[in-house]
Amino acid sequence: MIEDWIRKAKENPKVGIVLLHNGIVRATSKKGDVVNGLIVKAEEKKIKDIENEAKKKKGIFYCKIKINEGKLKVGEDIMRVLVAADFRKNCFPVMEEIVGRVKDVISEQEI
């Protein structure tokens, strides 16, 4: 999947950077409590909207978001986000914005 995304992003000759975010289930919560896993649900329409809005930003040529829904164990992927842009200065802020927005539209319940 990731290799396909990168290959597709690199088809645009203006792309000079590809960033990948891979969110993973940790064994501890932000407070330090033990976590055995997460139950993750996503709103697909909102995820697609975030993806499409990112593509409209300056210098962004490609964006893909994949959320792993369901019961996830420690070490499993929660989300993957790929952003391809012309320059780092255009790519890094968009990646940070996307990840923050995605976290707002998915629900995570610790188990």
pLDDT per position as a tens digit, 33-76: 999 999 999 999 999 999 999 999 999 999 999 999 999 999 99
Give the number of domains in the chain: 1
State pTM to two decimals. Answer: 0.91
Residue 49 belongs to domain spanning:
2-110
DSSP state, 34? B
- Alpha carbon distances (Å) from 32 to 15, 29, 46, 71, 99: 39, 5, 30, 21, 22
CB 78 within 8 A of CB 8: no
pLDDT of residue 30: 87
- Model confidence over 51-62: pLDDT tens digits? 999 999 999 999
pLDDT of residue 69: 97
CATH code (residue 50): 3.90.1170.40
pLDDT of residue 97: 97
